[in-house]
Amino acid sequence: MDGCVLDFQQIDKFSLPLVGGKGANLGEMTRAGFNVPPGFCVTTAAYRAFIEQSDLMETYFGRLEGVKADQLEEITALGNDIRDYLVTVTIPAEIEASVLEHWRQSGEHKSYAVRSSATAEDLPSASFAGQQDTYLNVRGEEQLLQSIRKCWASLFTARAISYRAKNGFDHRSVLLSVVVQQMIFPEVSGIMFTADPISGHRGIVSIDASFGLGEALVSGIVSADLYQVRSGEIVSKKIAKKKVAVFSLPEGGTETRDLPAEMQEKQALSDGLIHELAALGEKIKAHYGTDQDIEWCYEEGRLYIVQSRPITSLYPLPKVSVSPGESPHILLSFGHQQMMTDAMKPMGLSVLRTVIPFIKPSLREESKLTYTAGGRIFIDITKLFNLKPARRLFPKLLSGIDELMASGVAEYVQRDSFVRGLAPVPGLKLHILRFVAPIAGRAVRNLLLASPSQAAQEVKEWTEAFVEQGEARLAGAVGEERILRIQELAGSVLLTLFPRVMPFPLSGIISLRLVQALAEKWLGDKETIHVLNKSLPGNVTSELGLMIGDLADIARKHPEVAAIIQEGKDDSLRSRLHQAEGGEAFLQQWDRFMKLYGMRCPGEIDVTRRRWRDDPGALLPSIENHMRTMQPGEHRERFAQGAEEAEAAARELISRVRELPFGWFKAKLMSRMIRVFRHMMGVREHPKYVMIRLFGFIRQALLEEAKSLVAQGLLQTEEDIFYLTLDEVLQLTRGGATVHLTETISERKRDYERFQALTPPRLMTSEGEIITGTLQRKDAPEGALIGTPVSVGVVEGIARVVLRPDEAKLNKGEIMIAPFTDPGWTPLFHSAIGLVMEVGGLMTHGAVVAREYGIPAVVGIEGATSRIKDGDRIRLDGTRGFVLILHLNEASIEP
């Protein structure tokens, strides 16, 4: 049967549909001249013919379509049945004859490795590696044919079935080739990564090496030396104690043997071979154009490559231009700074890069300090550290946003290798001074002279006027003019808000620090400040949460309305409420809420996200949670009580200060700072609120323009506009080229799906090195998860992991565990007795709102949503900054 068996010399990277990822890579490297042991592939056409000769397999495929990734028992049983069946099926005669012909030509007395090679394996975007079987030291006709059968059957292991179900691969579409390759009986073998798989550093070649066959190393049953090479120099060697190795048996198969004592701590690979292997790795990387995970072995003076595949675990590298001799640039995750680390579509990234005000050739252009990677934005903060004070002060500033991020920056900017290579930036001090001085001057005026209540009112009036101007700016414009105005509006947002509004919350932060420091210095009081944080006046985000409570109170008065809310369905929501008893009263409050906050949503910095007014059903779980966990009016009572407690604490603190020497002056100063703090921190959320309201207008304008582009046949759907950038849409409105537009959008949709599964780093360098900070709490108990304390108090309760607020099911007395929170999560805060987040700092949204509501909170716990399981009983210490798991939820423990 033609095309069922191909030698490596007949195969290249374009042969993937026939020979799978592993086979295509071996053929590609063979034809490129790399030293690959010879062999051949039994193609997917042979597998298809083998499967199609059985009527029973169609029944099995039907059953596979019905299983879900988490149905492990069903998957295991079904997989066992399929594999047991397939190893008994006869290989078609023509295929068997072709296999044996190639085997004899290759050398029937030799030993072979027989490996599975799936068509969705060893790809840049997915790796099925290790899911199917490998058979080593296969000898003779009978062993060969049976090994091929077993490889085909291994496509139906429980792991492989579950992986395909989870990632949406059709079980029929993933075909299997089998690689038959002459065995090498190596003295040493191992794995080489052309980039450090742990740190992500693209300039480091990382080599694992051990004695005997490499499969033992891959499976983890033997220890390996670790060598690292950078710029042709060995920079690290860690020699492992290698107690055992795996070797081939003369009759076929393998065995594990103990190594002699003198070999156990011997360096497996000489320095010369380390250099030679690293150079070979760089050549393979250059051939493929991407970093590679390479399996290699060494026999009788020669290095062999037995496999190479893309490293799928590396976070994508931003395309940063770095001059020769210059330090690697340090890149800060904008998503972590904004408490929204999800991947974004290209339009969301484009709008934000236009909003960021630094290094912009014009108002309409994207910031030249911003880069995208993996659907996220990273800001290049390297130039800032030309100023020596910035290396000390900037990490302190960052600590209020994310302590792990601050720790990472503090460590990296002190490295000699970084400082030595910093490129001079003429005029940097003056540029920063011009930016900072007006903001600082206004903040000092607010701190010392302005009436706090009048200043807060001034912010509200100015921001309202600014939003109205933005709305008017976009009204009536169409086509090219509409996109130009969107770019101008986006480009002006922060450039206007920073100098005009930021001085107000900045004076609030300064006064907070002063009240805290003076209370401790004069009175030894560290506790009152926590009470003063409660129920700040004028906070628009707190008002959002209170209005959710108001909606819940109206709904619970009317059973029909409550039933509609509990159903949680968006279908015909408004018409159903009109028909329900009490529905009109609910809709009146609902419409008021939507007017004020309908442009908000979880992940709201991404302009492509559906807003609450686009998807009102997303709000229903929050209202339902409130109805279940709060009493009527309780939310307003608690907020009023918090305000009363704060006022009483302020009076008591001032009274105590007045009793001190020079008490009249100290009391006056303390009173002033408290009033500034309470009013100015109350407007802390206004800049974000303004930006999101303007984003709401920008989103509407983009969708209106999308309607026109769909009508012209340029876009297939209105949502497709979100897979383009502002500049690309501008070119479309100008009649720009549309060749390959549909393909570009389709490719970006696939990228977006892939990016959603990535975990972005807080910090990385232009070389791909992931920089991780450290948190230490000396008074934390053993086994505790360490984070940053941001709202005091200690609570115990059931952990409820919430990955999306529209799917939250919080019960009374539960502690919310979230990846992050932004204002779109605020409705859930009333229902929780504590908060744990993976991202955040003392001055970020979730921390501020938690303090206002008086619920303990710890943030910055890496991987909290996976390390803490849904239903675990935990103790949250928001004073000392840790979480302790007291009792595991046994239902969540994997078998």
Q: What angle do CA 123, 127, 129 make, to 5 degrees?
A: 115
Give the CA diameter of the chain.
Answer: 104
- The 3-state secondary structure of 5-20, one letter per residue: EEEHHHCCHHHHHHHH
Give the span between the Cα atoms of 402 and 393, in whole angstroms.
15
Number of helices and strands in the chain (H, E): 32, 26
**CB-count burial class (<10 Å; 0-12, 13-18, 19+) for 576:** middle
Write down the residue that tokens 């360490």 correspond to: 786
Q: Which of 329, 336, 679, 845 is catalytic?
A: 845
8 Å CB contact between 515 and 376: no
**Contact call for residues 25 and 13 (beta carbons, < 8 A):** yes
Residue type, 476: G
Between CA 788 and CA 809 the distance in angstroms is: 26
| 559-567 vs 583-597: helix crossing angle, rounded to 10 | 50
Q: Write out the E strands in 736-793.
A: 763-765, 770-771, 785-786, 788-791
Answer for the pair 553, 632: CB distance below 8 angstroms, yes or no.
Answer: yes
CB 806 within 8 A of CB 823: no
Asked if 663 and 657 touch (Cβ cutoff 8 Å), the reply is yes
Tokens of 213: 């066959």
Integer Cα distance of 531 and 534 in angstroms: 6
Tokens 């998860």 found at? 785
Q: Are 769 and 874 in contact (CB under 8 A)?
A: no
Distance CA 831, CA 853 (A): 11
Q: Which residues are registered as beta bridge partners of 6?
A: 41
Provide the CA 874 distance to its chain's centre, in angstroms. Answer: 25
Q: Pairing relation of β-strands 814-818 and 834-837?
A: parallel
Among residues 134, 180, 171, 226, the alpha carbon closest in space to that of 23 is found at: 180
Find out whether 92 and 53 touch, Cβ atoms under 8 Å: yes
- What values do phi and psi take at 660, rounded to 5? -85, 165
530 is catalytic: no
Q: Which two tokens stand for residue 504?
A: 């107000």
Please tell me whether residue 859 adopts helix, strand or coil conformation: strand
Q: Between the CA atoms of 260, 264, 268 and 271, what dihedral angle is there, to the nearest 10 degrees?
A: -120
Phi-psi region of 569 (alpha: psi -120 to 50; beta: other; left: phi over 0): beta
How does DSSP assign 163-208, residue by residue?
HHHHHT--TTT--EEEEEEEPP--SEEEEEESS-TTT--TTEEEEE
**C-beta atoms surrounding 428 within 10 Å:** 14
- CB hemisphere CA count around 237 (13 angstroms): 12
Q: Which residues are catalytically annotated?
A: 845
